Amino acid sequence: MTSSLRVKWCILRTSIEERLVYRADFAFATLVRFLPIVTQVFLWGAIYQTTGPRDPKLINGYSYGDMVAYSLLVMVGRAFSSMPGLTTGIARDIRDGAIKKFLVQPIDLLDYLFWHRVAHKLVYYAVAFLPFAFVFWLCRNYLHGWPDLTMFIGWLISLILAFLVGFLIESLMGLIAFWFLEVSSLVFVYMLVSYFLSGHMLPLDWLPPPYGDAIRLLPFKYLAFVPAAILLEKYNYQQLAVELAQGFAWVVVLLLLNRVALARGIKRYSAFGG
């Protein structure tokens, strides 16, 4: 047990140091990601100005302020759930043979990738905290204020779920490279589909039944919609408990799928590369 914790800490520490080597480049890339939120604010402003005389202030129960707040909160959720380079990195290691080190050393592939991503998020938020705080301060009039303690804890849990679901979906796609060495097309399709199914493009409660009901059964909503909806008070306490329970159930399912894919992939793996 102690040895396992020591390995995890070593992976985490080394990964943080690796991220800090090119800290200026990492900081610049982090700050650039805030630019789309400016576009979102102006876009929704233009949309709400042209809604017509019937109800110029509400679209599907969302005011302009709600949509600005939703866009900001979705950005926070996506910052936890996005895993740039994870799928392609796994596929590259499989294709080049670099994955052999996980077969001959006492380090689990998924465990290593998990702590590597935790390190990435720790450095990311250390860099992005002040820009996030500044943007939220500028848009403070659009936010609903602090939720009660139960909702706030639920929101924090939903961010953890966003990270876990995002990590497990993308690692599972990477493990598909044991069968199909080129997964770049799959990643492209996933990015397009998840942009819509996660609620990043539009709130999922805008979608009419039965399509909306079916989409909200999928795990993608935990990548962006659920954390935003919690702070926008779209759930009562009972609904919050159900959403979080379903989220943890999806984490278990995705983890099992990852383990099965890794075990079967290793059995059929031929170690090419240096």
Q: Which residue has the tokens 């996005």?
A: 82
In the chain, where the domains are located: 2-268
- Residue 53: pLDDT band (50, 70, 90) is very low
User: Which amino acid, 237?
Assistant: Y
Give phi and psi for 59, each to the nearest 5: -130, 115
pLDDT of 54 reads 47
**pLDDT (tens digit per residue) in 82-113:** 888 889 888 888 888 888 877 777 778 888 88
pLDDT of 1 reads 52
- Please give the torsion angle defined by the CA atoms of residues 21, 131, 58 and 229, in that order, rounded to the nearest 10 degrees: 60
175: enclosing H helix or E strand: helix 149-175
pTM: 0.86
Helix and strand element counts for the chain (H, E): 12, 0
Residue 149 to residues 112, 125, 152, 155, Cα–Cα distance (Å): 34, 23, 5, 10
**pLDDT (tens digit per residue) in 17-38:** 666 666 666 566 666 666 677 7
pLDDT of 28 reads 64
pLDDT of 247 reads 96
Q: What is the spatial distance between Cα 16 and Cα 38, in angstroms, rounded to a whole number?
A: 30
Q: What is the spatial distance between Cα 180 and Cα 153, in angstroms, rounded to a whole number?
A: 41
Q: Which residue has the tokens 């099992």?
A: 256
CA-wise closest residue to 200 among 48, 77, 21:
77
Please give the share of the chain, as a percent, with pLDDT higher than 70: 85
pLDDT of 237 reads 92
Residue 122 has pLDDT above 80, yes or no: yes
Please give the share of the chain, as a percent, with pLDDT higher than 90: 29
Residue 6 has pLDDT above 80, yes or no: no
Q: What is the spatial distance between Cα 47 and Cα 114, in angstroms, rounded to a whole number?
A: 40
pLDDT of 32 reads 66
